Amino acid sequence: GIQVEQSPPDLILQEGANSTLRCNFSDSVNNLQWFHQNPWGQLINLFYIPSGTKQNGRLSATTVATERYSLLYISSSQTTDSGVYFCAGEAAGNKLTFGGGTRVLVKP
């Protein structure tokens, strides 16, 4: 199966700062998703983005499929953005493989 690597592993932001999270995958994917896990463990899908760019409020994501990476942008960060951000990729085979996550702490 594919390998998914995320960087940085940890990120501390001051409220209002911008940041970029990166996800590299070892093979071509036909499915790439970003998730946010809140402090209680609930995972929420942020983006389904196998290629191209999407925006949702202060969050946006870009996937460059030919170069096998995806980026998640957080702008004007808020304390509620704290948590763990995961990307997950899928090649053939009906199962998503998750990266190790980026743990984000936004300080007031």
- Residues lying near other proteins in the complex (CB under 8 A) are found at 1, 30-31, 33, 35, 40-45, 48, 50, 86, 88, 90, 94-101, 103
Do the beta carbons of residue 70 and residue 63 sit within 8 Å?
yes
Nearer to other proteins, 75 or 97 (CB): 97
Nearer to other proteins, 31 or 75 (CB): 31
Q: How far apart are CA 96 and CA 87, in angstroms?
A: 9
Cβ 76 to other proteins shortest distance, Å? 26
Do the beta carbons of residue 63 and residue 57 sit within 8 Å?
no
Nearer to other proteins, 18 or 64 (CB): 64
Q: How far apart are CA 81 and CA 13, in angstroms?
A: 10
